[in-house]
């Protein structure tokens, strides 16, 4: 949906900002899941519980990103611009 908004709506800065921020958050979430999968396979191969704990922490971080994504979606639906620290600055630059 964000890609459709970016390609079709060239005038609404709030919608474009929310779309770019959503894409960047989803990209971060995908990277975290890939990282957790790779480290999880390494932990299973090594039989290490310490690395398994690291995988759990990465999954918890991914869950936190998902919660932030839901909050950002709700704020965008209400018409408010919810700016995240790093991703928000990048999205603001790209939405112009």
The pLDDT of residue 73 is 80
Residue 21, judged by CB atoms within 10 A of its CB (0-12, 13-18, 19+), counts as buried
Examine residue 3 and state whether it is found in any structural domain, yes or no: no
Residue 9 has what DSSP assignment? Answer: -
Its sign, for the CA torsion 71, 62, 9, 4, is: negative
- Mean pLDDT, 10 residues at a time, over the chain (96 residues)? 87 85 86 82 79 79 84 82 85 84
Report pLDDT for 32.
Answer: 80
In a domain, 50, yes or no: yes
Question: What's the total number of domains in the chain?
Answer: 1
Global pTM exceeds 0.85: no
Look at residue 67 and tell me if it is in a domain.
Answer: yes
Does residue 6 sit within a domain?
no
From the centroid of its chain, how far is CA 59?
13
């Amino acid at each position: 949906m964000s890609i459709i908004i970016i390609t079709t709506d060239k005038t609404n800065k709030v919608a474009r900002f929310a779309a770019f921020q959503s894409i960047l958050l989803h990209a971060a979430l995908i990277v975290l899941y890939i990282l957790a999968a790779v480290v999880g396979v390494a932990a299973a191969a090594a039989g290490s519980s310490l690395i398994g704990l690291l995988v759990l922490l990465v999954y918890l971080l991914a869950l936190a990103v998902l919660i932030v994504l839901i909050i950002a979606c709700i704020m965008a639906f209400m018409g408010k611009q919810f700016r995240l620290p790093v991703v928000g600055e990048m999205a603001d630059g790209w939405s112009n």
